[in-house]
């Protein structure tokens, strides 16, 4: 993990930090950063009398930009987060294009504002986030993501996230979305998260209880993972998510979830493959000794387009739900020099564009009625199809041991299930197993 020159140590108190809950200590913290910018080392942040205020919520350039080889060492030190990056983003620990960085021992108060406690971006490697309590950081408590973000070897352990974390449609407790959703983008690798307690809620509710909207499609989630290879989540307690306790999607490969409890979410775990091409589907997700309770729709939801899901020795209160994502994504050539055209299906309805790349357009079949011989452009001319991908199949579902509340199939259009195996698994009283068509 991070390699830090421990012989070089400074304290923020040496640079005038006060920690009185009133004075803006951003300049003192940045002076400590400057002292170690070339050599690396440890910045000690002693426990304050009240809290270190960082920024004023308006002025850019007050975030804590972390150089390579630097460890932030708190002592359960409270930071009142009002920082902004030079670009004006509301981020406290700004970890971008660096390696060997540790953030350890902090309490971060987001004051119920749209703020991120930690943001990883650019090219990062060997990053450790430890022993942190983050609350009332609306949007994301910890996030990794930008179009060009790629990380390698990130450790997140002993983290508590609570309070008004994520209003509907904007946030999650932890969100790792480290690269573009296209098959030729480099993949991030090596994420380990353990000993997490995440209770997210809708920031519009003063009692910090989740608001579940009837047709809500986005909102606060405990953990959201996209587009990475090789991840482990161990001993995670996640609750209150308007979508999912753990949402796995868009090219996440080789994920293992161990010894975790997910309760009072819409779904406990949700596994999807909403991507733009077949090279970024979600593969090889394993749940082992996971328990769920009180989740509103299902213990585990698995969408078509996913590959090789294993559920081993789990205790799932509620059913495993199998659903079908948009049936096909059809690739067509985009006309040159004509701007952004529109396309219509056989019923004359506009077809949703799910992506554009290399002078081609990917059209999404949401309702199962798209006929390839009936696609027309805005001038009513027939469209030539380059290729298509069928996302209607759940490929590989194995359930071994444990107890589940049943299996159900959701949606008007059913998925196809291939490679199904269930052995030694108890079905809870009243539970039923209703499988979709199998091949």
Domain boundary among 347, 370, 390: 390
Domain boundary among 294, 323, 352: 323
Start-to-end CA distance of the chain, whole Å, equals: 45
pLDDT at 192 over 80: yes
Please report the pLDDT score of residue 187 as a whole number.
74
Highest averaged pLDDT of the listed ranges 62-76, 109-123, 157-171, 190-204: 62-76
DSSP 8-state secondary structure symbol assigned to residue 378: T
Tell me if residue 53 falls in helix, strand or coil.
strand
Could you tell me if 76 and 195 lie in one domain?
yes
- 3, two tokens: 């390699």
When pLDDT is averaged across residues 247-252 and rounded to a whole number, the result is 86
Could you tell me if 126 and 205 lie in one domain?
yes
Could you tell me if 315 and 332 lie in one domain?
no
Could you tell me if 26 and 156 lie in one domain?
yes
Contacts of 21 (CB under 8 A, 6+ apart): 48, 49, 50, 51, 53, 80
pLDDT at 209 over 90: no
pLDDT at 82 over 90: yes
The number of domains in the chain is 2
Could you tell me if 42 and 73 lie in one domain?
yes
Q: Answer yes or no: are the C-beta atoms of 281 and 326 closer than 8 Å.
A: no
When pLDDT is averaged across residues 303-320 and rounded to a whole number, the result is 94
Please report the pLDDT score of residue 212 as a whole number.
44
Query: Rounded to an integer, what distance in angstroms lies between the CA atom of residue 304 and that of residue 300?
Result: 13
Contacts of 191 (CB under 8 A, 6+ apart): 151, 154, 156, 176, 225, 228, 230, 231, 232
Closest CA to 302 of 310, 314, 293: 310
Q: Answer yes or no: are the C-beta atoms of 362 and 353 closer than 8 Å.
A: yes
Please report the pLDDT score of residue 372 as a whole number.
61
Could you tell me if 245 and 178 lie in one domain?
yes
- Model pTM? 0.85
73 pLDDT tier (thresholds 50, 70, 90): very high
Is position 418 within any domain? no
257 pLDDT tier (thresholds 50, 70, 90): very high
Is position 60 within any domain? yes
- How confident is the model over 357-387, as pLDDT tens digits? 666 666 666 555 566 666 776 677 777 776 6
When pLDDT is averaged across residues 420-425 and rounded to a whole number, the result is 96
* Domain of residue 186, CATH code: 2.160.20.10
- How confident is the model over 127-186, as pLDDT tens digits? 999 999 998 888 789 998 776 788 899 999 999 998 776 554 456 789 888 765 554 556
- 430, two tokens: 């009243």
Burial track 400-432 (b if 16+ CB lie within 10 A, e otherwise): eebebbbbbbbeebbbbbeebebeebeeeeebe
Please report the pLDDT score of residue 6 as a whole number.
65
Could you tell me if 287 and 373 lie in one domain?
no
335 pLDDT tier (thresholds 50, 70, 90): low
Is position 306 within any domain? yes
Domain boundary among 308, 323, 338: 323
Could you tell me if 345 and 204 lie in one domain?
no
For the ranges 244-248, 264-268, 271-275, the lowest mean pLDDT is seen at: 271-275
When pLDDT is averaged across residues 319-336 and rounded to a whole number, the result is 72
Is position 422 within any domain? no
Is position 413 within any domain? no
What mean pLDDT value characterizes the chain? 84
pLDDT at 277 over 60: no
Could you tell me if 89 and 127 lie in one domain?
yes
When pLDDT is averaged across residues 300-319 and rounded to a whole number, the result is 94
pLDDT at 215 over 80: no
Please report the pLDDT score of residue 438 as a whole number.
86
Is position 427 within any domain? no
Could you tell me if 152 and 116 lie in one domain?
yes
Is position 375 within any domain? yes
Range of the domain at 162: 9-323
Q: From the CB of residue 174, how many other CB atoms can be counted at a distance below 10 Å? A: 30
When pLDDT is averaged across residues 182-198 and rounded to a whole number, the result is 82
Structural element, H or E, at residue 287: strand 283-288
Please report the pLDDT score of residue 330 as a whole number.
65
pLDDT at 286 over 90: yes
Could you tell me if 200 and 112 lie in one domain?
yes
Please report the pLDDT score of residue 220 as a whole number.
75
59 pLDDT tier (thresholds 50, 70, 90): very high
Please report the pLDDT score of residue 387 as a whole number.
64
Could you tell me if 319 and 340 lie in one domain?
no
Is position 419 within any domain? no
Please report the pLDDT score of residue 374 as a whole number.
66
């Amino acid at each position: 993990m991070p390699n830090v020159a421990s012989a070089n140590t400074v304290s923020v108190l040496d640079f005038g930090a006060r920690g009185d809950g009133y004075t803006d200590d951003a300049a003192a913290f940045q002076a400590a950063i400057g002292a170690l910018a070339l050599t690396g080392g440890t910045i000690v942040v002693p426990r304050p009398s009240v809290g270190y205020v960082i920024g004023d919520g308006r002025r850019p350039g007050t975030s804590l930009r972390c150089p390579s080889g630097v460890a932030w060492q708190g002592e359960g030190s409270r930071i009142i987060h009002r920082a902004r990056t030079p670009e004006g983003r509301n981020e406290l620990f700004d970890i971008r294009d660096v390696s060997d960085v540790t953030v350890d021992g902090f309490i971060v108060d987001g004051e119920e504002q749209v703020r991120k406690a930690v943001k990883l971006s650019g090219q990062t490697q060997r990053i450790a986030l430890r022993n942190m309590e983050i609350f009332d950081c609306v949007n994301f408590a910890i996030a990794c993501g930008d179009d060009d973000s790629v990380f390698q070897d990130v450790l997140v352990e002993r983290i508590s996230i609570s309070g008004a974390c994520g209003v509907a449609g904007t946030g999650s407790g932890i969100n790792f979305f480290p690269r573009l959703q296209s098959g030729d983008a480099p993949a991030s690798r090596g994420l380990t998260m353990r000993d997490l307690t995440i209770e997210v809620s809708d920031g519009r509710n003063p009692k910090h209880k989740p608001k579940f909207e009837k047709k809500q499609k986005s909102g606060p989630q405990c953990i959201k993972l996209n587009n990475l290879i090789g991840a482990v989540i161990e001993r995670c307690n996640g609750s209150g998510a308007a979508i999912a306790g753990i949402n796995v999607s868009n090219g996440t490969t080789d994920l293992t979830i161990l010894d975790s409890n997910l309760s009072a979410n819409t779904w406990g775990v949700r596994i999807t493959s909403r991507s733009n091409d077949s090279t970024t589907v979600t593969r090889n997700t394993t749940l082992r000794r996971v328990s769920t309770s009180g989740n509103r729709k299902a213990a585990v939801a698995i969408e078509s387009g996913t590959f090789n899901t294993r559920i081993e020795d789990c205790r799932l209160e509620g059913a495993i739900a199998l659903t079908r994502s948009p049936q096909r994504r059809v690739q067509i050539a985009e006309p040159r020099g004509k701007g952004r055209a529109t396309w219509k299906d056989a019923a004359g309805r506009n077809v949703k564009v799910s992506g554009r790349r290399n002078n081609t357009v990917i059209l999404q079949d949401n309702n199962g009625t798209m006929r390839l011989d009936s696609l027309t452009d805005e001038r009513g001319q027939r469209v030539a199809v380059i290729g298509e991908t069928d996302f209607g199949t759940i490929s590989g579902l194995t359930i071994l041991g444990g107890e589940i509340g049943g299996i159900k199939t959701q949606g008007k259009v059913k998925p196809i299930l291939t490679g199904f195996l269930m052995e030694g698994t108890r079905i809870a009283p009243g539970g039923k197993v209703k499988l979709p068509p199998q091949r």
